[in-house]
Chains A and B, each alone.
Chain A
Amino acid sequence: MADDGPPKRSASEKAAFKRELTEVVPHLRAFARGLCGRPDMADDLVQEALLKAWAAQDRFEPGTSMRAWTFVILRNAYLTDMRRNRFRGEYDEGVAERILTAPAGQEEPIHLSDMHRALLTLPPERREALLLVGAGGFSYEEAAQICGCAVGTIKSRVGRARAALNSMLAEGNIPQRSIEDDTAHRAILEELDDVAAGKGVAAKG
């Protein structure tokens, strides 16, 4: 990856790196929470990603998006841990009963917990695509770079994720615990392998 070895960073560049890294921590936590559900595990993941980012700081190109760069690291750490079976998409009831805006003409309001649970039932690659675009505010192009796939792939994943959430939330038809079910979990892991295989590395700008 390094051409002639990464250039050494000056003290001020290092300070700038650290400042930017510090600034994106809340975003990393939000992304991780969306990916893996349990706040404690999500935070562990962020800590892991921060250490990796720090160790790899020579590979960060100043002036590019720190958020996008660290999301790639976080995502890769997540995929690795998923394959080691550390996360099972467990849902934390602690976030539970916050009510989101009640849709007009609908009796039942959508709860943040419903949203989160529905999100966690999505296949991981669709979940992350939707998180990046729909929550993180990345463009399709940026999301494609983070996930190391084509823009069209991201669009289609986001579209499918939205359609799935739509039907789950509109119909109140959210699977309760499907991700703890072994079959579903295995299916998710298989998809993860696909996601990770050859696609785990971010496309270079």
Chain B
Amino acid sequence: MTSSKKSSERIPGNETDSPDMQPPDWANGLKQLYDSVVEEPLPDAFKDLLDKLDDTGASSGSARADHGDNAP
């Protein structure tokens, strides 16, 4: 009976396409870099902007729809 060893075998440095393949040292750092910004308190400028959104544009329908030329 052959064991199921194969699936858990990892060859260090083996290049693969899989998203699981994370280069060890810095990959976590990349995530930290991103998360460190995500976790920053939101600057007031954004709160102000979000508060103001309701007063602008789309409230009157399509008035500004043609403004979003960069939108998908």
Interface residues of A (CB under 8 A from B): 5-6, 8-9, 14, 18, 21-22, 25-27, 29-31, 33-34, 43, 46-47, 49-59, 69, 72-73, 76-77, 80, 98, 100-101, 103, 106, 110, 112, 115-116, 119, 130-131, 133-137, 139-140, 155, 159, 162, 165-166, 169-170, 201-202, 204
Contacts and interface: CB of A to CB of B under 8 A. Distances in A.
B72 A52 contact: no
Contacts of A119: 30, 33
Contacts of B26: 100, 103, 110, 115, 165-166, 169
Interface in B3-60: 15, 17, 19, 22-40, 42-43, 45-46, 49-50, 53-54, 56-59
Q: SS class of chain A's interface: helix, strand, loop or mixed? A: helix
Nearest to A99: B29
A134 B31 contact: yes
A54 B28 contact: no
Nearest to A5: B62
A56 B68 contact: yes
Q: SS class of chain B's interface: helix, strand, loop or mixed? A: helix
A58 B58 contact: yes
B33 A116 contact: yes
B50 A73 contact: no
Interface of B: 15, 17, 19, 22-40, 42-43, 45-46, 49-50, 53-54, 56-59, 61-62, 64-65, 67-72
Given A6-B62, A100-B29, A106-B25, A133 B45 contact: no
Contacts of A116: 33
A6 B46 contact: no
B48 to A, nearest CB: 10
